[in-house]
Amino acid sequence: MKKALVSAVVVSLVLTPFTGAVYAKEHNSKKSSKYSKQDKDSNGIPDWWQSKYHLGFGKDLALKDKDKDGLNNLVEYQLNLNPISKDSDKDKITDGNEDKDNDRLTNSQELKAKLNPLSSDSDKDGIKDSYEDNDKDGLNTKEEFIIRTNPVSYDSDKDGINDGNEDKDMDGLNNESEFLLGYNPLSADSDKDGIKDGNEDLDNDGIVNKQEARKMEIEIVNSKGEKLSIKYESSKYKYQIKYKIKDKIGVGDVKSLLDNFIMTPDMTKDEITNQIKQSFGINDIIKYKLEVKFQNGKKVKSEFKYKNNKQKQDDDDHYNDGNRNDNDDDNQDDNHYNGGNHNDNDDDNQDDDHYNSGNHNDNDDDNQGDNDQD
């Protein structure tokens, strides 16, 4: 009995210091946790962290960059960096130029683009932040920083031309096409061979880069009502063509035939019609609709509809056939004309609809979609 009692006393004495230590640790942990959340100046940074680095206090403290590394104090806290050292990890790269989330954007670039430097995919849409085009100007975030444009502004210099459609180096190719074709958008002659990038022939097809079609949609209807519809577009990041073809006419290998279909921005309606007939072997065309966007940013629309003699006579009662150059600034649509060429140089940002034949050369800088093109 005495032995049992002594044993119980010994066990009690042995356990008491440890249980006391555990209680103290838990108590201090709770106290520390409560203390760490204190933010008396409501700037998003805990008071203890501000005190640790002797930053002072105040609501505007969060936006200050004491170490001049491109990151404000709030971001330094969020990224667990030292707000009074430009290079927290001493790897000879400043904190602002580090890439915390490995998305090919530096921490400071993420802030400028209003992205999360702690997440490679800030909006969780499956696309890395560097490949996002949040301002819808044709350039992704990384590309915007390469040519020094604003990744959250569609038109950084406010000149009415979106950033992707600008030609930074004046070589005949817009910025978007330069990246697409693998050229340097900051150099007019990327390979230093004495030929401007726009005048190079990357695919050796006899057509210079600036006159190559980047995107095309065409629908052809023959006399039997059968249709051939083609959509293709140069894919980004790799110089490849994406095709979408529906052939109810039965012309054969459409992709091969497209190699012989050559379009340039200055072609007339008759030249386009003859090119379509020759390239696809369709001589009984009663209607076609064509929309093309070229690598230099220019757009061309052309429509044709066959009319019998009675329809032509009816049209002559209302319209004069021939060329029509629309350079007005009246902000009104010019609709329902039937013949000739339509060169659209207006700044009205409106689509010109319901024309039946002729070319529509769209050289505006509105970067708005022209009727189901984008």
Q: What is the pLDDT of residues 101-145, one digit of tens each?
A: 999 999 999 999 999 999 999 999 999 999 999 999 999 999 999
Query: What's the chain's average pLDDT?
Result: 78
Predicted model pTM: 0.61
pLDDT over threshold 60, residue 55: yes
Interatomic CA distance for residues 21 and 14, integer angstroms: 12
Residue 326: predicted pLDDT: 42
Residue 234: predicted pLDDT: 77
Say which residue, 113 or 319, is predicted with more confidence: 113
User: Residue 367's pLDDT band (boundaries 50, 70, 90)?
Assistant: very low
Average pLDDT of span 14-23 = 36
Among 35-49, 187-201, 268-282, 347-361, the minimum mean pLDDT is found in 347-361
Residue 240: predicted pLDDT: 65
Say which residue, 368 or 147, is predicted with more confidence: 147
Q: Which long-range contacts (CB under 8 A, 24 or more apart) does 223-227 make?
A: 223/284, 223/286, 224/284, 226/250
Q: What percent of the chain is predicted at pLDDT more than 70?
A: 71
pLDDT over threshold 50, residue 86: yes
User: Residue 320's pLDDT band (boundaries 50, 70, 90)?
Assistant: very low
Average pLDDT of span 19-26 = 37
Residue 24: predicted pLDDT: 37
pLDDT over threshold 50, residue 348: no
Q: Is 342 helix (H, G, I), strand (E, B) or coil?
A: strand
* CA nearest neighbour of 64 among 75, 80, 53, 52: 75
Q: Which residues are within 8 A (CB) of 287 and not within 5 positions of it... i.e. 6 or more apart?
A: 220, 221, 303, 304, 305, 306
pLDDT over threshold 90, residue 368: no
* CA nearest neighbour of 181 among 198, 205, 161, 163: 198
Q: Is residue 175 a contact partner of residue 165, using CB atoms and an 8 Å limit? A: yes
* CA nearest neighbour of 227 among 282, 178, 272, 304: 282
Instruction: Read off the tokens for 234.
Output: 């140069």
Average pLDDT of span 68-93 = 93
Residue 233: predicted pLDDT: 86
Residue 177: predicted pLDDT: 92
pLDDT in tens, 280-290: 999 999 999 99
Q: What percent of the chain is predicted at pLDDT more than 90?
A: 55
Q: Is residue 63 a contact partner of residue 73, using CB atoms and an 8 Å limit? A: yes
Residue 241: predicted pLDDT: 74
Say which residue, 347 or 275, is predicted with more confidence: 275
pLDDT in tens, 180-220: 899 999 999 999 999 999 999 998 888 899 988 888 999 99
pLDDT over threshold 80, residue 324: no
Q: Are strands 342-344 and 358-362 parallel, antiparallel or unpaired?
A: parallel
Residue 306: predicted pLDDT: 84
Interatomic CA distance for residues 297 and 176, integer angstroms: 9
Neighbours of 137 (CB within 10 A): 25
Residue 319: predicted pLDDT: 43
Residue 309: predicted pLDDT: 54
Residue 236: predicted pLDDT: 58
Residue 207: predicted pLDDT: 85
Residue 333: predicted pLDDT: 41
Residue 337: predicted pLDDT: 35
Q: Is residue 104 a contact partner of residue 128, using CB atoms and an 8 Å limit? A: yes
